[in-house]
Amino acid sequence: DGGITQSPKYLFRKEGQNVTLSCEQNLNHDAMYWYRQDPGQGLRLIYYSQIVNDFQKGDIAEGYSVSREKKESFPLTVTSAQKNPTAFYLCASSPLHRETQYFGPGTRLLVL
Amino acid sequence: GDSVTQMEGPVTLSEEACLTINCTYTATGYPSLFWYVQYPGEGLQLLLKATKADDKGSNKGFEATYRKETTSFHLEKGSVQVSDSAVYFCALIQVGGTASKLTFGTGTRLQVTL
């Protein structure tokens, strides 16, 4: 089955630690996205990538980093510079020049 | 910039009641409009969409009509079920460009009881 997988489902971060969230898709989509969801708020765009080895900042990129070395993969690193990382993180993908995005099941990040 | 405003929840309904979740938007040009649904602990699923004025999107008994004159895209269902309990997000995207950057509303939680 084609789809988007995110791992782990839950992730715990200690103070000063970087953590990496995985996002993999086998839909052959060119574009991939990372969103952050906080309670009572909509989704906010962190980073997006339209093509391998290229990515752009979204609305709330500070304290995050990404890479796009393969078409199928778009990992997100939450760095120690992100002071309020507790949130639900959603990865999405879409074909280029297409509007509909397809979402993964999400990773919940908690700070110890 | 673009923005989407949804009615605040939670919305609590009895099974078989009628549902309306209001959504209005502010955007330049002619955006496409979406409703996404999020079941507890899961990611978002596309529920329906409309790409131009007067288009009606529909799926699983839900409907929404793109009203340019009132900049609205209200979600409706004639008879809700307990399984419809979820958070519903209205969103827009500007036509054109390569990567589709969605602008989301804050979401409306729907709770359906027996």
Nearest to B56 by CA among B80, B79, B78, B72: B72
Report the alpha-carbon distance of residue B97 to residue B19 in Å, rounded. 34
The tokens 């409306």 sit on which residue?
A: B108
CB A90 within 8 A of CB A35: yes
Buried b (16+ CB within 10 A) or exposed e, A7-43: eeeebebeeeeebebbbbbeeebbbbbbbbbeeeebb
Sign of the Cα torsion B56, B43, B82, B21 reads negative
Question: How close is the nearest chain B Cα to the Cα of A27, in Å?
Answer: 15
In B, which residues are within 8 Å of A98 by CB distance? 100
Residues 76-95 of B with CB under 8 A from A: 89, 91, 93, 95
pLDDT given for residue B96 in this prediction: 62
Report the alpha-carbon distance of residue A51 to residue A69 in Å, rounded. 9
pLDDT given for residue B99 in this prediction: 61
pLDDT given for residue A83 in this prediction: 86
Question: How close is the nearest chain B Cα to the Cα of A87, in Å?
Answer: 12
pLDDT given for residue A89 in this prediction: 96
pLDDT given for residue A32 in this prediction: 95
| Residues of chain B scoring pLDDT < 50 | none
How many C-beta neighbours within 10 Å does residue B13 have?
18
Contact B99 A42 (CB under 8 A): no
Q: How far is CA B30 from CA A44, A82, A88, B33, B53, in A?
A: 21, 35, 31, 9, 8
Average pLDDT over residues A83-89: 92
Report the alpha-carbon distance of residue A50 to residue B37 in Å, rounded. 25
Average pLDDT over residues A34-50: 91
> Residue B33 corresponds to which amino acid?
L
In B, which residues are within 8 Å of A97 by CB distance? 98
Nearest to B20 by CA among B102, B91, B60, B79: B79
What would the pLDDT profile of A52-77 be if each residue is shown by its tens digit?
Answer: 999 999 999 999 999 999 999 999 99
